[in-house]
Amino acid sequence: MSEIFSSESSISFARWGEHYLDYAEVFGQKWEESEKINHIKFLLRGLPRKYFDKIPANQKDTAANVIRYLSEKLDGTRSREVALQELLACRQRDQEDANQFAGRVIPIVETIMQGRDEVALNDTTFG
């Protein structure tokens, strides 16, 4: 089953939605769009669920449209703040190799950097 998404999630909703669509493609091949949408609804908690309940009917016709709508509402300053707090507390665990640690850190950093101009970011970081 795909993971629950709440206001405290450290990944962006867009990334969660991409993961969900991949999950539905593999495990929900016979699902109708309405079943995919209901499954998204089931996996949302708190503020994301409240936003889901307010989606206009014309935006609720496909799972992809639901994810796009919610991404516009949820991905922003708040998700970056949560991710930043998680990054500040993130430490490499005992017996955790660098690849495993990177696998935990990269999605957090991507959430923090979301919406930034990638070219300008690379110039600033590596230039």
Domain residues for the domain of 96 are 77-116
- State how many domains the chain has: 2
59 and 100 both lie in a single domain: no
19 and 70 both lie in a single domain: yes
Q: What's the pLDDT band for 50 if we cut at 50, 70, 90?
A: very high
Contact 1, 42 (CB under 8 A): no
Q: Is the dihedral of CA 109, 113, 115, 119 positive or negative?
A: negative
Q: Give pLDDT tens digits for 100-120.
A: 999 888 888 877 776 666 655
70 and 19 both lie in a single domain: yes
In whole angstroms, give the CA distance from residue 48 to residue 92.
Answer: 30
Q: Is the dihedral of CA 58, 60, 65, 69 positive or negative?
A: positive
pTM attached to this predicted model: 0.66
Q: Is residue 2 part of a domain?
A: no
Q: What's the pLDDT band for 78 if we cut at 50, 70, 90?
A: low
68 and 90 both lie in a single domain: no
Q: Is residue 28 part of a domain?
A: yes
